[in-house]
Amino acid sequence: MDRFIIRGGRTLAGDIEIGGAKNAALPLLCAGLLTSERLVLTNTPRIADIATMVELLASLGLATDTLDSGPTYTLSVGGDITSTEASYDIVSKMRASILVLGPLVARCGEAKVSLPGGCAIGTRPVDLHLKGLEALGAEIELSGGYVHARAPNGLTGARYVLPVASVGATENIIMAASLAKGRTELVNAAREPEITDLVVCLNAMGARIEGIGTDTLVIDGVPALHGARHPIISDRIETGTYACAVGITGGEVRLLGGRADHLDAVIRVLNEAGVETEQQGDALLVRRAGRLRGVDIMTEPYPGFPTDMQAQFMSLLSVAEGASMMTETIFENRFMHVPELNRMGAHINVHGSSAIIRGVPELSGAQVMATDLRASFSLILAGLAAKGETVLNRVYHLDRGYEAVERKLSGVGADIERAS
């Protein structure tokens, strides 16, 4: 099993290319189920989650071709749906698999999709995905660990108020509503940039969705969607993660493709902590020369501070001057990196959904492992700043969502290698 070996203490300088957004690419690939024509996605990230989604779509009959595997990776997805069943074997690997449910029931009138279950960061129910589809007229039954959804006469538009602005539920409902009869009004929709990207692509496929970027989406269903070519937005979480790398080591790096306009809350906190940022055309320049300062952070739905950046900031704040408080409001179990950071010399105490981080002058390298994607990167960040050698095990979590970490970081001067 692969691991990373990091020798800390180097400042970073140079350029890092930011890839396409994982959390945009996954629903966008599922949108390929909504049309009999081909959907071409440019700027797709080369990560394990995309390979898993391609495998899932193949099990449903859709073929995915790689059209260009140069610096940007272009995938074309299409074909006839030959099965409406998403099996446990694939769904259990990746929760985003549930995003095939809405498109399948809308297009085929039925779907059988394994329930994804919880994961390392929380219980993560899918009740709102199901209630939203029921509001559109789907009959839902749960048995044998599967969701069986049926709408033999098609779905019908309706008004549905999401009790929680769930990203995945919003995506499933808008994809389904695009092919429903009549108008759907989705209230309290999530507003993440990845949802906007999905709506832009669906509209390019012939959908009629208004309210883009707001919490109320109005979807006038159409009988069929057609193919399109869509560029996936750059990954704001990858951008924020590498910004934290520069923050924790010091130095100056240009994040090519990084977009400040998708990272307002993150940039505000970086700046408060003493990390400077500047949008320079298509690149986000990040630099730190002075001391890091403690800040208080609370995770919130977009446009608030993203939960997917929480672990990385915990590492950054571990070596800041003064104390910080981190409050996690989205997932109930997303502090699993804390004991590992403490093993590296951090001083973090968790009290319920908040953690108090008392900055220490220095971390020290250790053998560590993480239970999820962002926690894994938080340990890499700690390793980049730590004295001595850090060995990060269970790298498969990282490979789910970050492309070529060792190449990107060593390209700006970090001492990091992958070993098997």
Ligand X SMILES: C=C(OP(=O)(O)O)C(=O)O
Report the partner that residue 73 touches, choosing among ligand X, ligand UD1, none (CB closer than 5 to 8 A by kind).
Answer: none
Find the binder of ligand X among 96, 190, 205, 416 (CB under 6 A): 96
Contacts with ligand UD1, residue ranges (CB under 6 A): 23, 26, 95-96, 122, 124-129, 164, 166-169, 190, 306-308, 330-331
**Is the Cβ–Cβ distance between 417 and 5 less than 8 Å?**
yes
Q: C-alpha angle 64/145/166, rounded to 5°?
A: 65
**Residue 127 marked ligand-binding:** yes
CB of 257 to ligand X, least distance (A): 18
Cβ closest to ligand UD1, residue 168 vs residue 257: 168
119 belongs to the catalytic site: yes
| 308 is annotated as contributing to ligand binding | yes
For ligand UD1, the closer of residues 50 and 284 by Cβ is: 50
Q: Would you give the DSSP letter of residue 47? A: S
Q: How far is the CB of 406 from ligand UD1 (least distance, A)?
A: 23
Asked whether residue 124 is marked as a ligand-binding residue, the answer is yes
* Residue closest to ligand UD1 when measured from CB atoms: 168
Q: Does 282 count as an annotated binding residue?
A: no
Residue 373 binding result from ligand X, ligand UD1, none, given CB thresholds of 5 to 8 Å by partner type:
ligand X
d(CA 155, CA 133): 8
| DSSP letter assigned to residue 233 | P
CB 7, CB 385: distance < 8 Å: no
What single letter denotes the amino acid at residue 141? E
Q: Which distant-in-sequence residues (6+ apart) come within 8 Å of 329 by Cβ?
A: 298, 299, 300, 307, 353
Q: Distance (Å, rounded) from C-alpha 197 to C-alpha 193?
A: 6
Q: What is the closest distance, in whole angstroms, from the C-beta atom of residue 169 to ligand UD1 in the complex?
A: 5
Residue 344: helix, strand or coil by DSSP? Answer: coil
Radius of gyration of the chain from its Cα atoms, rounded to whole angstroms: 21
Q: Which residue has the tokens 């789907």?
A: 138
Question: Cβ of residue 265: shortest distance to ligand UD1, in angstroms?
Answer: 12
Partner touching 65 among ligand X, ligand UD1, none, CB below 5 to 8 Å by kind: none
Binding at 167: pick from ligand X, ligand UD1, none (beta carbon under 5-8 Å per type): ligand UD1
Torsion of CA 234, 238, 239, 240, to 10 degrees: 140
Applying CB under 6 A, which of residues 107, 288, 337, 374 lies at the interface with ligand X?
A: 374
User: Shortest Cβ distance from residue 127 to ligand X (Å)?
Assistant: 16
304 to 343, contacts with ligand X by CB under 6 A? Answer: 308
190 binds ligand X (CB under 6 A): no
Count of chain residues binding ligand X (CB under 6 A): 7
| Distance in angstroms (rounded) separating the CA atoms of residues 407 and 82 | 39
The DSSP bridge partners found for residue 368 are 392
C-alpha span between 313 and 310 (Å, rounded):
5
One character per residue 6-45, x = contact with ligand X (rule: CB under 6 A): -----------------x----------------------
6: which 2 tokens?
């990091």
Kindly state whether residue 95 participates in binding ligand X, applying the rule CB under 6 A. yes
Please name which of 160, 151, 146, 204 lies closest in space to residue 180, comparing C-alpha atoms: 151
Residues listed for the chain: 420
Binding residues for phosphoenolpyruvate: 22-23
Binding residues: 22-23, 95, 124-128, 308, 330
**Residue positions annotated with a catalytic role:** 119
Binding residues for UDP-N-acetyl-alpha-D-glucosamine: 95, 124-128, 308, 330
